[in-house]
Structure 1
């Protein structure tokens, strides 16, 4: 068993002897979402490294940090490949709900496509609190998890040929767009995502280079930490706590296992 496979299973508490199949993939997605946070601390602290298999293993599995979409989904892609799945990566454009338009950064979201029994599914472990926790078929059926409902619609436009729509449990009354993606331009070399990391780190319109952000799903909902607040969703009930710098570091360590420098 490879180092990546061994360490990934250890972080998720999956026995080395357990066979990962399409039928058990939902459980792996849930464990990943609760164990590995979506966070931008390396971007904020200006200590990003080139996107490579070795660096992702070191960052997320050895140091037990989290990451952004291009890190989390790249690592999960490698894990899928090593467990016998037919997987590729794809890029997408995130939709801004407040502005009612796609982000101006271009295709900076990274997601995963797998093929099983001649059907293609989307898998995403790097979309913050919006994770489907399921394999979402590109044929339009709605899938449901404890995080909400998710579906993919065919589209034709500058942003891609499919769009992920979602309706989060306890949060969304209507369907909304998550992101569009291009299934025809697949990627297997993660070094392409260094371009995305540069945009995320340096572009003036990037939402991830302004202040620290950490979020992680829990079995009851999710937790989100910023420098000014700590928000918890539990079974539809939300609590929000104001935080200062000292409390921020305490919560970062306690709830996310992250030790921020700033």
Structure 2
């Protein structure tokens, strides 16, 4: 794996130092150029937590990925530059995890002028590092908060235009192998959201573009705008133009997307 190839992939040419300026710049560049997406899972292609596999997919094949790939790769990049990085396990959803429940979301703890939460694999809410302490932070169009829920648990929340997403985490460091169970389950269980619904997400400045199934949403400070895709070619074009994903074979998923949309919303 080559750091220069990654930097070319994210179009980043600034000096590299293990400081806050570099960290902020890398986070924004990765989110701008590398989308969160589950296209492999939709097409039945195996997805690995291994960093070298993520590098091959994201850097060499110019694809995106999900949290295990994107945060895993970004952690490797930061360590190569000299940052102090730890992997943490998150549990996505509004409710506190049950004892013994395995984390289903990877995030990063980076020490840089204090402890920071860094997450380039949650779809696009945190556009820059978030202080790893209880508080509320503005990252338009999102309001981001971290709350101390007791017993070592913290809750991350992001809110925009009335819609909220959450995950729970502790400060206990884990290895990448911690996520093997979740990685297998989320791409094999037919009830997994990553199997049931295609998604691609990209964060550019104060805008978050989200494709779920047939509906593309653009979220910014003016609110949320929706467009429904009308054909498999519209899907291919949307992924290419809005998410920098040139994957024409995704058109084979169109019949399944139509069926899923009709199950949820009718014809």
**TMscore range, shorter length:** 0.7 to 0.9
Cα distance in 1 between the residues matched to 2:146 and 2:83: 21
Q: Distance in 1 between matches of 2:96 and 2:190?
A: 16
Out of 51, 57, 60, the position equivalent to 2:58 is 60
Decide which of 149, 152, 164 is 2:143's aligned counterpart. Answer: 149
Q: Give how far 1:95 is off.
A: 1.5
Partner of 1:257: 244
Deviation at 1:240, TM superposition (A): 1.8
Q: What is the Cα deviation at residue 28 of structure 1? A: 2.0
1:161 is aligned to 2:153? yes
Q: 2:115: which partner in 1?
A: 120
CA RMSD of aligned residues (A): 2.4
Q: 1:40 Cα deviation (Å)?
A: 0.4
In 2, the alpha carbon distance for the partners of 1:133 and 1:141 equals 16
Structure 1 CA distance for aligned equivalents of residues 144 and 220 of structure 2: 20
1:192-214 deviation digits (Å, cap 9, x = unpaired) = 43322111112344211113111
Task: Supply the distance in 1 between the matched residues of 2:212 and 2:232 (Cα, whole angstroms).
Answer: 10
Are the counterparts in 2 of residues 94 and 102 from structure 1 also a CA contact under 8 Å?
no
Say if 2:97 and 2:168, in contact at 8 Å, map to a contact too. no
CA contact (8 A) 2:37 2:64 kept: yes
C-alpha separation between the residues in 1 aligned to 2:141 and 2:221? 10
The TM-score, its normalising length taken from structure 1, stands at: 0.83
Q: 2:134 aligns with which of 127, 140, 155?
A: 140
Question: Which structure has greater helix proportion?
Answer: 2
SS in 1 for 2:166: strand
Partner of 1:107: 103
SS at match of 1:26: helix
Aligned residues: 246
Residue 202 (structure 2) pairs with residue 216 (structure 1): yes
Report the Cα distance in structure 1 between the residues aligned to 2:135 and 2:145, rounded to whole angstroms. Answer: 6
Q: What's the TM-score, normalizing by structure 2?
A: 0.82
Q: What is the DSSP-based 3-state SS (H/G/I as helix, E as strand, rest coil) of the residue aligned with 1:75? A: helix
- Structure 1 residue 172 corresponds to structure 2 residue 162: yes
Q: Is the 8 A contact 2:156 2:168 kept in 1?
A: yes
Partners of 1:216 and 1:123 lie apart in 2 by 16
Q: What do residues 144-169 of structure 1 show as CA deviations (whole Å, max 9, x unaligned)?
A: 22342323222235xx621113333x
The superposition leaves residues 69-90 of structure 1 with CA deviations (integer Å, 9 ceiling, x where unpaired) of 1111111111111111110111
SS in 2 for 1:232: strand
Structure 1 runs, 4 residues or longer, greater than 6 Å off: none
For residues 220 and 162 of structure 1, do their structure 2 counterparts lie closer, same or farther at Cα, with a shift above 3 Å needed?
closer
